[in-house]
Amino acid sequence: MTRPAYPNLAWSGGEPGAVRVLGINPWITDFAAFNLWSRPVGLLACLSMVRDAGASIALMDCLDPTWEGVRWPRPGRYGTGHYPKQELEPPKALAFTGRRYSRYGLDRDMVREALAQLDPAPDAVMVSSVMTYWYPGAINALDLARELWPDAVRILGGPYATLCADHAQRHARPDLLVRGSLETPENWAQLWAALGRIAPPLPERAGLNLALDLYNDPGYAPVLGSRGCPFSCDYCASRALYPGFTQSGPGPILALMEAEQARGVRDFAFYDDALLVAPDRWLWPVLDAVSDRWPQVRLHTPNAMHVRRLTPDACGRLKRGGLTTVRLGLETTDFDLRHDVKLTRREWEDGARNLVDAGFDLADIGVYILFGLPGQDLARVEEAVRHVRGFGFRPHLAHYTPIPGSPMFEAARQASPYPIAEEPLFQNNSIWPCVPGGFDWDQAARWKALLQGLPAPGHGTAAD
């Protein structure tokens, strides 16, 4: 048997005659990008759903670092790393920045060649877009699909399609635009109508099962034990993307982890919005089983965990379960001025101490501090950075992204000099869209020095 030229791209599931659905996770187009255990989890949930409903599926993940024969620059820790990139002319809207703009991920010609060899051709192509301002990659993928298979139904979904639906409809011009979760009864019916088939019943665990087996040789894997979040922070779009809060039981999560770790995966990253809410439901049983069965597994929380839930018991369980990369959220140390989940100074200090007491390595604990909120006093950010360093943790600035559908978006629209509501490219946090004066190299260098505890270059403070 001859070996296919692109073994990563092959049809999976479905009886003969089944509808064939290809998922494409497009390239990132941005000023910078780093792979923090990235997987297109929404698209993988959709593909799993349609396969469970009888379709045949395949995946082209333009950000997959495990494609055969592709060399990825400078690997980072625990499976993270830089993407290969190709510099591009920035879109006209962003040309004023004078900064380098690139397409990150697999080489476009290679992607085109691999897709052209996909045999048989897909009946439908599902394209996702994780960040609203990465939409040029999604449009590129839809255009490629149109060029290769003019008769295939082109479907766009994910956060860009959901939060910027009018823009997406006008610019991406998909055959079907899906807002929100594919597993809602309306969206599910619309999908099968677009495919020209009678809608099969929605499979069990739709929206929680992930088609991770589509990766041939995975270096890491995402874990998704819940959807949505019971809180409603002003800067976050979680509610607009998924209005409820649904949790899995532990069994299916463990089954997925077992399958992945049997394929050699050691690093697992949690994708949950509210990981530590009602942890008895799935997280604690999963952690207990992981520590018993797979002591070599490393867990990571690239999304910030809620500090007030870091009791001594929680920290002990997380540590025994193999949590390695710890990220916490601390919007500000002005505890009366918060826009997120309530947290008192006492709760923050207790949570921080409990982590250290549980034996976490200080170097593995990073704290996200929000930077660039509309009207934010940057001196407060500087205070928070110093406070976090005082604990011995690593401060990280989480640059504020104004997101349509989040409660704070209107305030952001008013504060920003850019038309952020009309053009999603201006929602890119790299341009500091709500900071007076916008992105500035000198200020960026000062903040970098402050984060590292070095004297600021030049004079003055980072918040001058």
- Contact residues toward ligand SF4 (CB under 6 A) are 229, 231-233, 236, 238, 273-274, 340-341
Residue 338 CA, chain-centre distance (Å), reads 24
Residue 374 within binding range of ligand B12, rule CB under 6 A = no
Contact, 367 vs 373, CB < 8 A?
no
Residue 155 binds which of ligand B12, ligand SF4, none (CB < 5-8 A, kind-dependent): ligand B12
CB of 447 to ligand B12, least distance (A): 14
Residue 302 binds which of ligand SF4, ligand B12, none (CB < 5-8 A, kind-dependent): ligand B12
Complex with ligand SF4: residue 191 or 398, whichever CB lies closer: 398
Please work out the total of residues on this chain that contact ligand B12, with binding judged by CB under 6 A: 43
Token pair 């309306």 in the structure block, residue: 186
CB of 272 to ligand SF4, least distance (A): 9
Nearest to 191 by CA among 21, 335, 73: 21
Contact, 266 vs 36, CB < 8 A?
no
Cβ within 8 Å of residue 444, ≥6 positions away = none
Contact, 259 vs 213, CB < 8 A?
yes
Give the span between the Cα atoms of 140 and 27, in whole angstroms.
9
Residue 341 binds which of ligand SF4, ligand B12, none (CB < 5-8 A, kind-dependent): ligand SF4
CB of 285 to ligand SF4, least distance (A): 22
Stretch that binds ligand B12, among 50-58, 165-173, 179-187, 438-446 (CB under 6 A): 179-187
Nearest to 372 by CA among 440, 316, 322: 440
Q: Which of 48, 56, 80, 181 binds ligand B12 (CB under 6 A)?
A: 181
Q: Which of 139, 214, 265, 398 binds ligand B12 (CB under 6 A)?
A: 398
Complex with ligand SF4: residue 43 or 236, whichever CB lies closer: 236
Number of C-alpha atoms within 13 angstroms, CB side, residue 184? 12
CB of 235 to ligand B12, least distance (A): 6
CA angle 207, 211, 213 (to 5 degrees): 160
Complex with ligand SF4: residue 60 or 241, whichever CB lies closer: 241
Residue 43 within binding range of ligand B12, rule CB under 6 A = yes
Tell me, residue by residue from 207 to 246, as one string, x for binding to ligand B12 by CB under 6 A and - for no binding.
Answer: x----------------x-----------xxx--xx----
Number of helices (H), then strands (E), belonging to the chain: the values are 14, 18
Residue 27 binds which of ligand B12, ligand SF4, none (CB < 5-8 A, kind-dependent): none
Contact, 126 vs 47, CB < 8 A?
yes
Tell me, residue by residue from 284 to 323, as one string, x for binding to ligand B12 by CB under 6 A and - for no binding.
Answer: ------------------xx--------------------
CB of 34 to ligand B12, least distance (A): 6
Nearest to 429 by CA among 25, 88, 30, 28: 30
Complex with ligand B12: residue 11 or 192, whichever CB lies closer: 192
- Kindly provide the residue ranges of all beta strands, DSSP E only, lying in 282-393, ordered along the sequence: 298-300, 323-329, 365-371
Residue 145 within binding range of ligand B12, rule CB under 6 A = no
Q: Which of 298, 306, 399, 413 binds ligand B12 (CB under 6 A)?
A: 399
- Kindly provide the residue ranges of all beta strands, DSSP E only, lying in 10-93, ordered along the sequence: 20-25, 28-30, 34-35, 56-61, 81-82, 85-88
Residue 131 binds which of ligand B12, ligand SF4, none (CB < 5-8 A, kind-dependent): ligand B12
Give the span between the Cα atoms of 365 and 352, in whole angstroms.
9
3-state secondary structure (DSSP) of residue 125: strand
CB of 176 to ligand B12, least distance (A): 7
Give the span between the Cα atoms of 151 and 201, in whole angstroms.
26
Number of C-alpha atoms within 13 angstroms, CB side, residue 289? 15
Binding to ligand B12 (CB under 6 A): which residues in 3-42? 33, 36, 38-39, 41-42
Binding residues for ligand B12, rule: CB under 6 A, are 33, 36, 38-39, 41-43, 45-46, 126-128, 130-133, 155-159, 162, 178, 181-183, 207, 224, 236-238, 241-242, 271, 273, 302-303, 398-399, 401, 403, 427, 429
